[in-house]
Amino acid sequence: DVRVLFKTSIIGTLFLVFTYGIFIPNNWRRAALVIVPMALAPLVAPSLLGLTSPSFLSVSEEARTFDKITENSLYLVLGAVTAVFGTHTINTFRKEEFRARRLNQYHLTKKLGTGGMGEVYLAEHQLLKRPCAVKLIRPSLSQKPRVLARFELEVRATARLSHWNTVEVFDYGRTEDGTFYYVMEYLPGLSLQELVDRHGPLPPGRIIYLLCQACDALREAHQAGLIHRDLKPPNVFSAYRGARYDVAKLLDFGLVKPIKEEDSAVVTREGTVTGSPLYMAPEQIMRTHAADRRTDIYAMGAIAYFLLTGRPPFLGKDSMAVMVAHARDPVVPPSRLRDDVPGDLEKVVLRCLEKKPEGRYQNAEGLACALSACADAGSWSPVQAEAWWQEHEPRVLVRTIESSSSDQVPDPASSPSDPTRAEVDAPTFGASELEAVSEPSTAGRIDLTLSLGEDETRPERW
């Protein structure tokens, strides 16, 4: 019976509309974009079927009278409006709950961003009234032992470090509902990724000024037996701390690896390459040997290259193409992309980006010394840093305290993820490809039309 068929389709559509409105977190605009087409489907589908099947059109004429169409349209419109309003109401309650949410002594006030394993919120300690950043592991990942192990490793690794240029961890715990979290210092400022995205490549002196600080933090981590393995512009922050500007801070030790790796075997699956393809060292990709200090030196060189030129050393159509380029292709000298690159700084960057670890600086101290020996090493000072921030980014620094008491709570469905870190199957190369990797091509081909992930590298503001 065609009438029964239409009635069933109306009931089924209303069920889907209400299910979406109740169970899918969203704001009312996004919900309407999904619910309205869903509600129109039972009205439009018979006409489309009639165009392809005249026999269906003749059989369905009786069920598609004006009265029936009006009645069905009324049901669907009321259902769609109710579902959209319900989505708005539920989303409002969710925001109110978020405003009141507390993690022990910490009151969450604003979402700052989303990382590979969790979300980062601006929070305030209830007694000290100090702004801080709280990282929560995603509920969908909290049942995965490998993810929990990585989360704990990040916390413990960061807590072991006390250098001024490493983000400080204040607390770590688990809530009554099973949510894992840890608390860090809140950093007003911008990541190196944001600095370049907003203001273009940095002056050579400023690059040296920031990277020397990062090297100091990296040296402490290496002396503690920790390899970062995920150094990239979003994970190095230029912050305002202790009345000083352009204080470099290392973030996100989620992929840190102890030099003696017995305790971290559960963290990364065998047969996968984990990291950020745009800044990954060849040995991480080829797995020719275990990652060590020189792996981080390569990433530091890639960061310096990005700060000088505004683009990573290698680009490609996808993550695999970029990783193959890191392992095989020669680096285009920064001076070919920017005219005013100092020769001494370019030599330092290119040495960091040597394919073989033996050709790089062997530790962070060696890299820092090489940077300090460059002619532009003293051309950027704290006074210049303060003047730059006051002129170009005054609002970034002013909002640090204001945001801790803000009542604005972002839409939980609108936070961007951070896909710059990828975990992919390790590439397997044939004999000819291995030969090509061992003898880099001299073509030096660059693809300036595609910048993999440049618009996706929005950092967590810790």
Q: How far apart are CA 422 and CA 230, in angstroms?
A: 10
Considering 216, 230, 246, 418, which one is annotated as catalytic?
230
Q: Lowest mean pLDDT: which of 87-91, 106-110, 115-119, 437-441?
A: 437-441
Compute the distance between CA of residue 211 and CA of residue 369 in angstroms, rounded to an integer.
11
**For range 327-345, the mean pLDDT:** 96
Evaluate whether 102-184 and 188-438 have a shared fold.
Answer: no
Instruction: Give the whole-angstrom CA distance, residue 325 versus residue 271.
Output: 20
Between 107 and 253, residue with greater pLDDT: 107
Q: What are phi and psi of 287, to 5 degrees?
A: 55, 40
Amino acid identity at 56: F
Rounded CA gap, 122 and 313, in Å?
A: 33
More confident residue, 109 or 100: 109
Q: For the segment 293-312, what is each residue's pLDDT rounded down to a tens digit?
A: 999 999 999 999 999 999 99
What does residue 170 show for φ and ψ, rounded to 5 degrees?
Answer: -100, -35
Specify the 3-state DSSP secondary structure of 67: helix
- Contact call for residues 112 and 237 (beta carbons, < 8 A): no
State what percent of residues in the chain have pLDDT above 70. Answer: 70
Lowest mean pLDDT among 32-46, 190-204, 429-443: 429-443
Provide mean pLDDT across the span 141-168: 81
- Does residue 29 register a pLDDT over 90? no
Q: How far apart are CA 20 and CA 247, in angstroms?
A: 46
pLDDT band at 62 (very low <50, low <70, confident <90, very high): low
Q: Which residue has the higher pLDDT, 322 or 103?
A: 322
pLDDT range class, residue 222, cuts 50, 70, 90: very high
Taking residues 66-70, report their average pLDDT: 61
Residue 251 pLDDT exceeds 70: yes
Q: What is the mean pLDDT of residues 369-390?
A: 96
Q: What number of residues does the chain have? A: 462
φ, ψ of residue 351 in degrees (nearest 5): -70, -40
pLDDT confidence tier of residue 457, bands split at 50, 70 and 90? very low
Q: Where are the chain's structural domains? A: 2-100, 102-184, 188-438
Residue 460 pLDDT level (bands cut at 50, 70, 90): very low
Of the given ranges (26-35, 41-50, 76-85, 366-375), which has the lowest mean pLDDT?
41-50
Q: How many CA atoms lie within 13 A of 346 on its CB side?
A: 14
> What pLDDT does residue 46 have?
66
- Poorest-confidence range of 32-36, 137-141, 193-197, 382-386? 137-141
Residue-wise pLDDT for 33-49, tens only, equals: 888 888 888 777 666 66
Alpha helical stretches, state H, 204-357: 204-223, 282-286, 293-309, 319-328, 343-352
Report the percent of the chain where pLDDT is more than 90: 38
- Looking up tokens 């601006």 gives 122
Output the CA angle 394-253-239, nearest 5 degrees. Answer: 15
Rounded alpha-carbon distances, angstroms, from residue 35 to 95, 336, 454, 455 = 22, 52, 33, 30
pLDDT in the model for residue 142: 66
Average pLDDT value over all residues in the chain: 77
Write the DSSP string, 189-201: EEEHHHHHHHH-S
For domain 188-438, give the CATH number.
Answer: 1.10.510.10
Question: Fold for domain 102-184?
Answer: Phosphorylase Kinase; domain 1 (3.30.200)
Q: What is the pLDDT of residue 262?
A: 43
Instruction: Report whether pLDDT(454) > 70.
Output: no
Under the banding of pLDDT at 50, 70 and 90, the label for residue 449 is very low
Whether 230 is a known active-site residue: answer yes
Q: How far apart are the first and last CA of the chain?
A: 62
367 and 380 Cβ atoms separated by less than 8 Å: no
User: Taking 90 as the threshold, does the pLDDT of residue 174 lie above it?
Assistant: no
* pLDDT (average), residues 317-340: 95
Residue with tokens 């967590």, as numbered in its chain: 460
Token digits for 165? Answer: 């240029």
Q: What pLDDT is attached to residue 289?
A: 81
Full strand arrangement of the beta sheet holding 118-125: 102-103, 106-114, 118-125, 131-137, 180-185, 169-174
* Lowest mean per-residue pLDDT among 179-188, 211-220, 239-248: 179-188
167 or 97, which is more confident: 167
